[in-house]
Amino acid sequence: MDVMALERRFGGRRALVGVELEVRAGEIVGLVGPNGSGKTTLLRVLAGMLRPTAGTVRVAGFEPVAEREEVMRVARFAFAPPALLENLSAREHLEHLAALGGGKVERGEVARVLALVGLAERADERVRAFSFGMRQRLALALALVPRPRLLVLDEPTEGLDPLAVLELRGILARLRAEHGLAILLSSHLLIEIDQLVDRMLVLSEGRMLFTGRPAELTAASERVRWRVSDAERAIELAAARGLAGTRVGADELEFAAECAPLAEVAEWLARGGVELHEYRRTRATLEEALRARLGAERSA
Amino acid sequence: MSVRLESLRLVRSRRPLVAAGALLLFLVLMLVGFYTYAQSRTGGAAEFRYTFENRSYFNGLTFALYAFYFGFVLLLPIFAATEGGAQLAGDTGAGTLALFLTRPVSKARLFFTRFLVAAGYTTLVTGLFLAVALALGLVAVGWGDLRLYPGVLQMTDRPQSLAQGEALMRFALVWPAASLALLAPLAFAFWISSLAKSAVNAVSTAAALYLVLYLVAEVHFFAELRPWLFTSHAAYWRELLQETPDLEALLRHASASLGFTCLFLALAFRRFRRREEGA
């Protein structure tokens, strides 16, 4: 999947501006951003449901609006919230929808996928009686039959209990490892993104705020903290070495990540009459790092 | 898009049951009206089998014609509008259109499969309605020759008569002719459905516009507009029940009705093909 300089306007409002995205086989990419950031618009553009105002979008080499059928032969999209045919059972969903477009799906394959998402026991019940979590599972099952080369999941963990989230994580990891599937998933649950994706794209008000590995986002927030016997004196000693520290507590100082190594610091401080009780590196969680970026973006 | 899937969805929805119940209720009310009208008008002086037209006028075939005619102009188009309106707009409103659009199936196939199933359903309801009207007429009154007099149906300006066997054969032809005429309101509702985002809006708009256009076509002030309204051409099937059908008029109105159907379908498909989902 290749997205270049994508722009989408709704009247005068720019919902997506200059979005670039690449998803390769065997890669899991996360799409993150607050409500209204343009995630769903981007997914709908990728599915050919919305036309780009400018820029290029290619899915498996096809243009999604003009060649939607070709795109849907290799890619499968599951939008949130999962919309299903209320009067059909889970099994009927899989049998009928998977067969659309000429594909014939084996009964065994349907049973296997239903078991995979934990719906085997309720396969013949009509969907109208399903909980939100069960609908999510069925939407995932629908996205897996017949097996695509690219899977696009919109908020796949929403409504799932922690165990189901864990199972989903396992399923996606297995699909990637065993079948080389490319997966693009949007999620609000940053912990999921952090643990599952290779790369992530963060959108804010339609613009790209960050793209790269989650670790790269948190790396920028890395700091070094010293706990010392005399904070005032320690600041003076650090300043003499060209290090700018800030006090974050009665006996604690914070420095940039590029601060001098532990042995060196301990030595200067000891020579200056200050005891170093603790030297540790801190890193913001993905959520904290993202919040900081969003805050900086907004204030800018 | 498979016909099997769409048919399954239709059967599992409540629409066929509601349509069957409403049409049966309508037939029963018509029968009660036939039996009680003369009684109430003449204060019991006439036999209960007398109609407001003529005692010899009333038999099972006449009842079926009256019931079918009034059902055709007022009920069946509403069911057609409901069916048409429920299609695209229903799936748009429920979000289920995305389920189909994310499958390798063309928009043309999605659209025309739906129309095919809706048209098949409308044809089935029309046939069933006519068959039940005839059966009810036979059981409650008994068949006989079909006699037409100048009057409410405005089918003739002189008394006419069709022998029972011939009349039944003509009724058999009325079924496909009336079904074809109903494709115009169905296609009209599809067009409205392609513009709306919820089934309720689509159905109510299509039904309301049909009624307005039907009334406009009936009102003499707007006689000049009639050729341009699809509602003016719909009842051409009545020609089949004349002693000597005017085939030229029948074909003219049938062609006009089919023309409107194609026009509405073209407009609906154009809109459906070009529109964006989720904009």
Over residues B79-104, the pLDDT tens digits come to: 998 889 888 899 998 989 999 999 99
Q: Which one of A47, A102, A103 has the shortest CB-CB distance to B102?
A: A47
**A70/B104 Cβ within 8 A:** yes
Rounded mean pLDDT, A226-236? 90
Q: In what order do the strands lie in the sheet with A75-78?
A: A54-58, A2-10, A13-22, A207-212, A199-204, A28-32, A182-186, A150-154, A75-78
Question: How would residue B44 be classed by pLDDT, with cut points 50, 70 and 90?
Answer: low
Which residues from B are below 8 Å from A51, CB to CB? 276
Q: B278 to chain A: which residues are within 8 Å by CB?
A: 40-41, 44, 49-50
| A123 CA: distance to closest CA in chain B (Å) | 17
pLDDT at B132 over 50: yes
Q: Name the minimum distance, in Å, from the CA of B110 to any CA of chain A.
A: 10
Mean pLDDT of A110-115: 92
pLDDT band at residue B52 using 50, 70 and 90 as cut-offs: very low
Distance from CA of B11 to the nearest CA of A (A): 10
CB of A27 closer than 8 Å to CB of A183: yes
Contact A50 B279 (CB under 8 A): yes
- Which tens digits make up the pLDDT trace of B183-217? 999 999 999 999 998 999 999 999 999 999 999 98
List CB contacts of A291: < 8 A, sequence separation 6 or more. none
Partner residue facing B2 (CB), from A51, A83, A99: A99
Least confident of A213-222, B116-125, B202-211: A213-222
Give percent above pLDDT 90 in chain A.
48
Q: Which residue of A has its CA nearest to B90?
A: A85
Nearest CB neighbour to B98, from listed A83, A92, A103: A83
Residue A113: pLDDT band (50, 70, 90) is very high
Q: What is the pLDDT of residue A287?
A: 81
DSSP letters along B56-102, please?
GG-SHHHHHHHHHHHIIIIIHHHHHHHHHHHHHHHHHHHTTHHHHHT
Strands A75-78 and A207-212: unpaired
More confident residue, A204 or A106: A204
Find the CB nearest B276 among A49, A76, A85. A49
Q: Quick one: CA torsion of A32, A33, A38, A40, rounded to 10 degrees?
A: 50
Q: What is the mean pLDDT of chain A?
A: 89
Residues 250-289 of A with CB under 8 A from B: none
Q: What is the pLDDT of residue B49?
A: 43
Residues 39-68 of A with CB under 8 A from B: 40-41, 44, 47-51, 68
pLDDT at B154: 77
ipTM higher than 0.90?
no
**Are the C-beta atoms of A278 and A231 separated by less than 8 Å?**
no
Retrieve residue B246's tokens: 């005017």
| C-alpha span between A52 and B91 (Å, rounded) | 24
Distance CA A278, CA A266 (A): 10
At A102 the pLDDT is 66
In chain B, % of residues over pLDDT 90:
63
CB contact under 8 A, A101 and B105: yes
| Distance of alpha carbon B217 from alpha carbon B167, whole angstroms | 28
- pTM of the full structure: 0.85
- In this complex, which of B13, B104, B277 lies closest to A69 when CB atoms are compared? B104
Lowest mean pLDDT across A175-184, A201-210, B44-53, B269-278: B44-53
Query: What pLDDT score was predicted for residue B266?
Result: 98
Statement: residue A105 has pLDDT above 80? no
Q: Is the pLDDT of residue A266 over 90?
A: no
Q: Is the dihedral of CA A151, A155, A159, A161 positive or negative?
A: positive
Name the pLDDT band for B39 (thresholds 50, 70, 90).
low
- Residue A5's pLDDT is 95
- pLDDT above 60: residue B121: yes
The confidence score (pLDDT) of residue B45 equals: 52
Convert the pLDDT of each residue in B240-261 to its tens digit: 999 999 999 999 999 999 999 9
* pLDDT at B46 > cutoff 60: no
B272 within 8 A of B202, measured Cβ to Cβ: no
Contact: A51, B276; criterion CB under 8 Å:
yes
Higher pLDDT, A188 or B270: B270
As a three-state string, the secondary structure of chain A is: CEEEEEEEEECCEEEEEEEEEECCCCCEEEEECCCCCCHHHHHHHHCCCCCCCEEEEEECCECCCCCHHHHHHHEEEECCCCCCCCCCEHHHHHHHHHHCCCCCCCHHHHHHHHHHCCCHHHCCCEHHHCCHHHHHHHHHHHHHCCCCCEEEEECCCCCCCHHHHHHHHHHHHHHHHHHCCEEEEECCCHHHHHHHCCEEEEEECCEEEEEECHHHHHHCCCEEEEEECCHHHHHHHHHHCCCCCEECCCCEEEEECCCCCHHHHHHHHHHCCCCEEEEEEECCCHHHHHHHHHHHHHHC
The arithmetic mean of pLDDT across residues B180-185, rounded, is: 96
Cβ contact A49–B12 (<8 Å): no
Choosing among B11, B87, B99, B276, which should be mutated to test the A contact, i.e. which has the most A CBs within 10 A?
B99
Name the residue among B9, B13, B103 with its Cβ closest to that of A101: B103
